[in-house]
Amino acid sequence: MDLHAETALHRVDKTGTALVRFTSCGNRAPHEASLKYEEVHQMYAIIETGGKQYKVQTGDVIFVEKLSVTEGDNITFDRVLAVSTDSGLTTGSPVLAGATVTGKVEKHVKGEKIIVYKYKPKKNYHRKQGHRQPYTKVTIEAIKA
């Protein structure tokens, strides 16, 4: 290995996209403490659905409030609040016109069980109730700004 050539190491996420790039400086080996750190920008968007906001990137899997869409269908989120690209962050007021995020509905699931227990002391009153919140599992496929 030529130590005078710049050596680049990448840290990638599970989809294979480079997140961080390390480049060695000068004639030192890449494992020495002279690594240059530079962030590799990946496009993301902030969407709103079900009264909540989500920061999403291509390939993300998110759980949103249950949507009335069948499993396997594509869904388009048109309430996009902000989009970050290589040229910078673009925000809407309140939403960006023409920006959409598309995803595929994987399945409908329920969250963990929450126990609601009410009682009044000395009155022989107690009620136990369980609740499981319904969610929709969505895989983000594309961000269009």
pLDDT for 85-100, tens place per residue? 888 899 989 999 999 9
Identify the pLDDT of residue 36. 52
**DSSP codes, 57-126:** ETT-EEEEE--S--TT-EEEE--EEEEEETTEEEE-SSS-TT-EEEEEEEEEEE---EEEEEEETTTTEE
All structural domains of the chain with their residue ranges = 8-39, 44-144
Chain-wide mean pLDDT for the chain? 83
**Position with higher pLDDT, 143 vs 41:** 143
- pLDDT, tens digit (0-9, with 9 covering 90-100), for 29-70: 555 445 455 556 689 999 999 999 999 999 999 999 999 999
The pTM of the full predicted model, rounded to 2 decimals, is 0.68
